[in-house]
Structure 1
């Protein structure tokens, strides 16, 4: 945060305290429990959560710090956050992927950048979805819907990003247009019954002109039948190493609904027959690279998992919009700090071990601070490291105190 000139010294100290606390606290990260660990009471914490913080700038600086190269790929995804009560801001019915149906609660929309070296995802921007925005007719250009709200997050993308990966929910014309407007390409997944049609070959166009000398030239050569593929129109690709069970084909097809040509990568798992259709409006990039970009999107699931397990994403104890926004951003920014430290200092190999390291370090410092300055006890560096590693899943490779 020291490199961010737009953050005051007061806010920097506040954020350092709150970010370290995210992993040191035993139990829920709510105001009551946090006040037991910090030199701040509940009211002070509530005042802190009312402050405006430029989270995008902080996360952007963290990404620059953690990544050895500028990011080229980004991901956009949403996550359900359970919440009881009736008066909380943003409370509505949202899709809960863990239950495969809509539930009453809150939702956050996350924009992440992928590390070109490791593929790991880092949060750049997170926003809470407001209630009252229509979730019907998402592709209607004359109506502001949840789709429009989600796509507004793309404004934070750095210039180095060329492709945005998103799940099948974003396989809509609005999403393609929004990403195209930013000079980038969308990579998404199509439905199993996607309506696509083959482009006519030059031979088919010539035959049509000879048969029908008048009228429009032939552009398309029939609809793609997913149960009976026309193998001559598809190119079979070599499966990547370790994925020999996948049969991968690719072709450029036209989508009447999306009003554009798409590079489609059709993947079939020969072990169980499962298949999926990855599509992008980038017709030039290697199809296997398109597949890899989409698969990188699943790294975002680790963001939500780790934030819920270790940095208190679902522990919010407030109903106000500003405090909820602060809470969600604090949770995911703290996770960014943890992953950046793990990569730079090569300390732990999992967020679970990092959280345990911070808890143990906090306890160790508590003991040391309560000893007399002249006290003599056998806490050499090796012994202290053993204390820090209590409960680790994997032993750390370097000695580092958060």
Structure 2
């Protein structure tokens, strides 16, 4: 509910005197097991259709002594900038189209040649938590690399991602083979991704703006058979190529799962805007780790406890802003009512209390 920057001093100021600023700083030195916290809090998702999503995010941070300070890619600015980076692993509820944070791990400085291995390590560390819910991992086009996909497949996860517009794909040959010695024919020519031969492809998706076709092909970059979705935009006359390492997954589901990957970006956006993801004063590795994960987990817990169980959630979009305002109003109202000695057992006082809680609330 903090209406100011999320740092140790303001936590003390709004904490009602429970802990001194120094005590809060010291407590942040104790590393929290957020993976276990996630498993204990989100058990209700186990019976639902889910996918995992992973995305690195740039974090603004100044200071020469901050752990992990380096130059990292900022998607918003489309260039590398000095600051920090976290790799965020989340679980996406397919039915509710929303993401919940599992764990965010900071990228150490000087990892340019080992970034992919570091990202795989984050997924491997949380593998047990992920496999309890799903076997599918959705990532953006940066991870369309053999060095990422092969290790993830060894972890028993299937990858859904986006390919380059000039992807090197080969049709599989299913015709009769020549008798005799020699290597059998495996491929039936290269796929022209700019203009596919729709006689060989199966339509799997169609709406007012997009039309999708699916086919099993040989991916030269990955050296394996994959299922590819060729999505064509009618309005812009462009196309997008999606890939799934699970060749039996329906094309429509591949499209749906990749679209849901963006929910992790909305999770990070809400954490930056409302729970102080970029406002940490700390410089040490453990304090930064706790701050990043507390910020992301706060948004996740608010979604799960305040929105996910609403009977009309399809008509009521999740709004972290409204939840934050509600808790701030509650803090102010209870403080004022307590100081005035107002008793909530009276109907008029209760009605006034209820009206105070929803001042300024709005939908997302």
Name the structure 2 match of 1:173.
146
The alpha carbon displacement at 1:300 in A equals 0.6
2:117 paired residue number? 148
Is contact 1:64–1:70 with CA below 8 Å preserved after alignment?
A: no
1:255 aligns with 2:219: yes
What is the TM-score when the length of structure 1 is the normalising length?
0.83
Partner-residue secondary structure (3-state), 1:317: coil
Q: Which residue of 1 aligns with 2:186?
A: 219
Change (3 A) 1:64 1:227: same
Give, in whole Å, the separation in 1 of the partners of 2:105 and 2:83. Answer: 15
Structure 2 contact 344–350 (Cα < 8 Å) conserved: no
Q: What's the counterpart of residue 170 of structure 2?
A: 197
Provide the residue aligned with 1:41 in structure 2.
20
Q: Which has the higher mean CA deviation after the structures are superposed, 56-65 or 347-356?
A: 347-356
* Distance apart, 1:381 and its partner CA: 2.5
Alignment of 1:110 with 2:83, yes or no, is: no
Alignment of 1:55-134 (within 5 A): 55-65=34-44, 67=45, 69-133=47-111
RMSD: 2.1
Q: Distance in 2 between matches of 1:320 and 1:363?
A: 33
| 2:332 corresponding residue in structure 1 | 363
Task: Give, in whole Å, the separation in 2 of the partners of 1:115 and 1:36.
Answer: 36
What is residue 5 of structure 2 aligned with on the other side? 28
Is the 1:71–1:113 Cα contact (8 Å) retained in structure 2? no
Q: TM-score, normalised by structure 2?
A: 0.91
Instruction: Map Cα deviations across residues 96-136 of structure 1 (whole Å, 9 max, x no partner).
Output: 01011111110111111112431211001111111111x24
Structure 1 stretch displaced more, 49-58 or 345-354? 345-354
SS in 2 for 1:126: strand
Distance (Å, rounded) in 1 between the aligned partners of 2:93 and 2:344: 46
Give secondary structure in 2 for the equivalent of 1:74: strand
In the TM superposition, what is the alpha-carbon distance from 1:77 to its structure 2 partner?
Answer: 0.7
Matched-pair contact (CA < 8 Å) for 2:99–2:300: no
Q: Equivalent of 1:234, from 192, 201, 221?
A: 201
Count of aligned pairs between the two proteins: 353
Q: For each residue in 1:197-234, what CA deviation from the matched residue of structure 2 results, as whole angstroms up to 9, or x when unmatched?
A: 111121xx43xx27xx5421110122112223222221
Partners of 1:199 and 1:228 in 2: CA distance: 18
Shift of 1:281: 1.0
Corresponding residue of 1:9? none
CA distance in 2, matches of 1:95, 1:374: 54
In structure 2, the CA distance between the partners of 1:316 and 1:374, relative to structure 1 (3 Å rule), is closer
Gaps of 5+ in 1: 1-23, 137-144, 396-402
Partners of 2:183 and 2:208 lie apart in 1 by 44
Structure 2 stretches lacking a partner, 5+ long:
none
1:204-353 paired onto structure 2 within 5 Å: 205-206=176-177, 209=178, 213-239=180-206, 243-343=207-307, 346=310, 349-353=318-322
User: Displacement, 1:70?
Assistant: 4.5
- SS of 2:214's partner is strand
Identify if the C-alpha distance between structure 1 residues 375 and 164 changes in structure 2 by more than 3 Å, giving closer, same or farther.
Answer: closer
TM-superposed deviation, 1:71:
5.0
